[in-house]
A and B are shown apart, each in its own frame.
Chain A
Amino acid sequence: MALRVVSFLNQFFGQLGGEEKAGAGPQAIDGAVGAARAVQQALGDAGTVVATVICGDNYAAEHAERAIAELVALVAAAKPDLLVAGPAFLAGRYGVACGALCAAVQAELKIPTVTGMHAENPGVELYRRRVYTVETGAEATRMLAEVKRLVALGLKLARGEAVDTPAAEGYFARGLTRNVVAGASAADRAVSMLLAKLAGRPVASEVPRPAFPPVPAPRLLKTLEGATIALVTDGGLVPRGNPDAIEALNATRYGAYSIEGKSRLDAAQYDNPHRGYDTTWVKQDPHRLVPVDVARELEQAGAIGKLHETVYSTVGVATTLAHSARMGREIAEKLREAGVDAVILTST
């Protein structure tokens, strides 16, 4: 049975006009118009473009939420089995609209979608994790060949067929990992990879380098003598009994523990659930992890203005980047609200 396909295009590829029509709101036209004709050609007998949905680039960028809601309604009205958005090439507003519409259509209408764009299109980074995004050139010079790749992947998705690797299908990695069985042992692959590297041949690492965004250390704008200093740790200090039930690894929680009136931490009152390092020594003396003793001395000697009366603590082992970033943000907000100027963060 031929699939019902909707094609999404911007004003230019939908033949409404150039930049002067970029403010045009969403509209649907029966059948394939403009670049949607390439989609129809690529589909052949496998499917029919039942509608072409078009939206101006500026309208989509300036009224993003409204535009996507209106576009989803137009797509829904055509009752498609598949949405093909773009390809948007290097057109940024268009690429973002394609990704956003695909993500919304998948989520709300539960139908598969596919889009395509150039690696540097901002839509790639925003949506590739959720939306199958085929890599295309920067310009529409090879429109039909590239649309054919979008449609080939789209047909697999619409038919529920297995999707091959990003390299084989030509889409941007979605950033998900899955165990598979390789053709050779890891040891054999490692030796082959090293020989290639030594010979100056290109090496395809099996693990992408993480893109940790750099966090510049802010400057302390006052002297230490006038500053309030907080102690924060990811080394797992908790009061005995672990009242916040902070996980031993892969933590999603942190605790806020008062040190008000304490000049030292009594080892008998603390514990440590951290499963990523040998906690023998910090259980024996918690100051090895959270130096309340020395910090109090510095406070009394006037070397620091004040020691913040709350210690924040979590377990930093196998913690996902997402949870780490969230906990860090929350702790930072609380410290800022409390007027803390600087933090000593002890890690393990």
Chain B
Amino acid sequence: MRLELRWFAVDELAASLATRLTGQRLEIDLDGLRALLSADRRLTGVRLDLVHPGERCRIGRVFDVIAPRAKLEGGEDFPGVLGGVARAGQGTTLALEGVAVVATDQQSDNVGTLAVIDMAGPNAELSAFGRTHNLVISAWPSPGTERPDYLAAVRLAALKAAVDLARTAREATPDRVEVFELPPSPRVPPELAHLPRVAYVFQIHSHQRPTGVDEGILYGDPVRRMLPTIVHPNEVLDGAVLRGFMGRSVTTWATQNHPMIKALYAAHGRTLWFAGVVVTVAQATEPERVRSAFLAAGLVAHTLGADGAVLTKIGGGAPHVDMAQAASQCEALGVKTTAVVEDMSTDGSAEDMLLFDLPGVDSLVNVGSSQEPITLPAMDRVVGADDLAPKLLGESRATYGGLCGAIEQVGATRVMAEVR
């Protein structure tokens, strides 16, 4: 399968009368876009803001971040959620660099759990979204709209906007082209047959909280009864997998730019053979967890024939253990593993970093502690959270987990907890 990502760098974002890309300047017809997004009856009062790197601005109530992408040929945009259900991962996709769509959640009131993005100051350095020009969408639920429907509508609005922006690049000449091509897993050329075969086990959702009917995660499916299954890595890069509505240290943006898949592609054919991706969900009960762990390990070992596997998790403690059980099952089948964990300690003590001690699961990378306190310096402007502006403007305390993009559980980030 072959996917071509045509990249267009954006270094200026401005409101205008028409949505278009002129060189590296992206202009947005905000009224037109607002009209498009307001057509969803579940929403009322859509508001759009543009914020820029270096601006003393804080985005509040961040729900998810979407990378602007649009299919040029060979598929649907965000299939099963925005576009029709169709295979993703082949053909050509337009991708804008340096700009992101930030969806906010206007229903959540707990300041302590709301994620923020700082566009200036030390926290801007920690998050990819402190360095992008951002279109911030704030929308309110229309009367009678239940919370799951509201969140589905907010995400859909962000996806529509992401496609709308990327379509401006249809006629333009890309700055660079990235090609992702991986042959069917068993077809290894003889001269590369000596390379270790490596699979990626990608936990895409945690059932700690049940998904809503419109909470499409895999090709629009809410993955309620999903068992481990194999997908082509290009499908993940091309919009087949979206983040669910529980947003702990993970964004859809990181999934669209999946760092593990990109790292494995980068090494593919040189130091390893990328054997494929197994997607899993963290299960809610022990029998489900055990079943899922050995099925995932079986796909890795017996179907993909992998010598090694990397694993990531999504969510909190149960997914962390779920991933470790899958890793341990891989090790039991002779597949070497490394797993990416969060530091789970709530008091900064190394003895609490892990919630498991399973055979073979001894090679771990960590994405830091989301509980560690961080200072939010004073800013000049707050967007996405007008009602909270008085609290969010001044200097306050938050945690790494509350800074959107500082910790991405799929491994996009560089923050790590160091034991001293």
Contact = CB atoms under 8 A, between A and B. Distances in A.
A186 B208 contact: no
B116 to A, nearest CB: 17
Contacts of B337: 194
Contact of A194 (B198, B346, B414, B415): B198
Given A205-B362, A278-B210, A318 B316 contact: yes
Interface string B386-418: 000000000000001000000010111111111
Interface residues of A, number: 48
B417 A177 contact: yes
A262 B343 CA distance: 42
Nearest to B264: A191
B365 A189 contact: yes
Contacts of A210: 351-354, 356-357
B346 A186 contact: no
Contacts of A176: 348-350, 419-420
B369 to A, nearest CB: 6
B131 to A, nearest CB: 14
Contacts of B417: 177-180, 206-207
A181 B414 contact: yes
Interface string A161-201: 00101100000011111111111111111110111011000
Interface stretch (B23-31, B40-48, B71-79, B255-263): B255-263
B365 A179 contact: no
B205 to A, nearest CB: 12
B414 A320 contact: no
Q: Is the interface of A mostly helix, strand, loop or mixed?
A: loop
A207 B196 CA distance: 25
Interface string B341-378: 10111111111111011000011111111001000000
Given A205-B364, A209-B354, A318-B344, A198 B263 contact: no
B400 A179 contact: yes
With a 10 A CB-CB cut-off, give which of A166, A179, A193, A208 has the most chain B CB atoms.
Answer: A179
Contacts of B263: 185, 187-188, 190-191
Interface in A235-284: 249-250, 276-278, 280
Contacts of B207: 278
Contact of A186 (B267, B317, B414): B414
Interface in A120-172: 163, 165-166
B210 A165 contact: no
Contacts of A198: 196, 198, 272, 307-308, 336
A177 B372 CA distance: 9
B362 A209 contact: yes
Given A191-B263, A208-B419, A177 B349 contact: yes
A66 to B, nearest CB: 31
Interface residues of B, number: 65
B107 interface: no
A173 B272 contact: no
B357 A179 contact: no
Contact of B412 (A165, A187, A194, A318): A187
A177 B418 contact: yes
Given A190-B338, A278-B207, A197 B308 contact: yes
A177 B345 contact: yes
B194 to A, nearest CB: 12
Contact of A320 (B262, B346, B365): B346
Given A186-B365, A191-B267, A178 B259 contact: no
A37 to B, nearest CB: 31
B242 interface: no
Given A186-B411, A190-B338, A322-B349, 18 more contacts: A177-B345, A177-B372, A179-B400, A179-B415, A181-B414, A185-B412, A187-B412, A188-B259, A193-B338, A194-B309, A194-B310, A195-B308, A205-B364, A206-B365, A208-B351, A250-B346, A276-B208, A318-B316
Interface of A: 163, 165-166, 173-191, 193-195, 197-198, 203, 205-212, 249-250, 276-278, 280, 317-322
21 contacts: A163-B420, A176-B349, A177-B419, A178-B420, A179-B417, A186-B340, A187-B260, A187-B310, A189-B365, A189-B411, A191-B263, A194-B337, A194-B363, A205-B363, A206-B366, A210-B357, A211-B351, A276-B318, A277-B208, A277-B284, A278-B210
